[in-house]
Structure 1
Amino acid sequence: MSERSPAPEGLALIESLVNTVDLGSGRDTLDTAAGRERFGLTEDDLPGALALRESLRATLLAHAGHPPHREVTPLGELLAHAPLFVAVDPADGSAALVPADTGPLLSRVAAAVAGALTAGTWTRLKACAAETCHWAYYDRSPAGRGRWCSMQVCGARAKMRRYRAKEPNTTGRSAAT
């Protein structure tokens, strides 16, 4: 779990959706009525929301340079079912892609992705490289090369594993004794 600040604007929706499940414990807040209500979901919406969440996680893993660990529906295929239109503000002429229907989670996620694409922030939303974590986080590092949701937890564990793998056997014991 990350101690980082939330992702900007619409990406916070995606970040919070991906982080509804703790892969380490298996606890999923979408299993509760309160968790579903937070995203405007009913129990009937759950299968689609879970598919969307895992498709987003796979995409965020790709943003971090890691292949997804299981087969999921490609995010583009899911987002193709969320119609967006160009809304132009009459006061200043600014334009944005907005969902045709703001209710469904899929439409809100599609609008968030579109907004992040135009803002140049989409690829900064990533999933932690740790196998038991894959928590979504917004990479605020200057070079955009962050790998872990938390350097103090997931990053430290990975570095310690790498260090121990290189460490020679110093016990002096042989298998024959």
Structure 2
Amino acid sequence: MNDRAPAPGGLALIEALVNTLNIETGLDCLDTPDARGRFALTPPDLPAARDLREALRAACLAHAGHGTSTDLDALLADAPLRVAIAPDGSATVRAAGPPTLLARVAEAIAAATADGTWTRLKACEAADCHWAYYDRSPACRSRWCSMSVCGARTKMRTYRARHTP
């Protein structure tokens, strides 16, 4: 759906996870062994991964100005993180313990928050899409994952609504 370049850094993981569900078709890639392998998930991990995915989607929608996000905060409360100090004295937040999906997502959010890119990860405002994308626009005001698909559909609906007798 998305014709944009992938999100930078750890946000690419979050973008990929959110985009494992195609809302329009109902296809959930987490049902495939390849996708589960990509995220190091086993079948018992799937309910928690799906909850995390939808909480991330809600956060991306909130970044785009559509609703609020509270579930993600509760999910990340259990993420094992630690502050790592480099020899030069710089600090980064790192996953503590095994690199679970939750820990990797929390680490990516911490890094993206530190560099100011977290709120640029958004979800398409089209109700039949909600695909995650990274907003590279200078004003950070993109609304759709793809101007040629979702943007065009929305503009055509608006045009038809105004010009239908």
Instruction: Please state if 1:64 is matched with 2:60.
Output: no
Which runs of no fewer than 5 residues in structure 1 stay unpaired? Answer: 170-177
Q: Counterparts of 1:25-64 in structure 2 under 5 Å?
A: 25-64=25-64
Which runs of no fewer than 5 residues in structure 2 stay unpaired? Answer: none
Greater radius of gyration (CA): 1
Higher helix share: 2
Q: How many equivalent pairs are there?
A: 165
Q: Counterparts of 1:82-97 in structure 2 under 5 Å?
A: 82-90=79-87, 92-97=88-93
Secondary structure in structure 1 of the residue aligned to 2:133: strand
Residue 121 of structure 1, CA deviation: 0.3
Q: Which moved more, 1:93-102 or 1:8-17?
A: 93-102
Secondary structure in structure 2 of the residue aligned to 1:61: helix
Identity fraction in percent: 62
Structure 1 residues 101-122: Cα deviation after superposition (integer angstroms, max 9, x where no partner): 2421000000000000000000
Q: 1:165 — aligned with what?
A: 161
Structure 1 residues 27-49: Cα deviation after superposition (integer angstroms, max 9, x where no partner): 11100111101000000100000
The two structures have a TM-score, normalised by structure 1, of 0.90
Q: Which moved more, 1:112-121 or 1:97-106?
A: 97-106
Q: 1:100 — aligned with what?
A: 96
Q: 2:118 — aligned with what?
A: 122
Q: 1:14 — aligned with what?
A: 14
Q: Is the Cα contact below 8 Å between 1:18 and 1:56 reproduced in 2?
A: yes
Q: Is the Cα contact below 8 Å between 1:99 and 1:111 reproduced in 2?
A: yes
> RMSD value over aligned CA atoms?
1.3
1:26 & 1:12 partners in 2: Cα distance?
Answer: 22
After TM superposition, the runs of 4+ consecutive aligned structure 1 residues lying more than 3 A away are none
Structure 1 residues 57-114: Cα deviation after superposition (integer angstroms, max 9, x where no partner): 011001001127xxx8610000000021110111x32210011124210000000000
1:168 & 1:42 partners in 2: Cα distance?
Answer: 51
Amino acid at match of 1:3: D
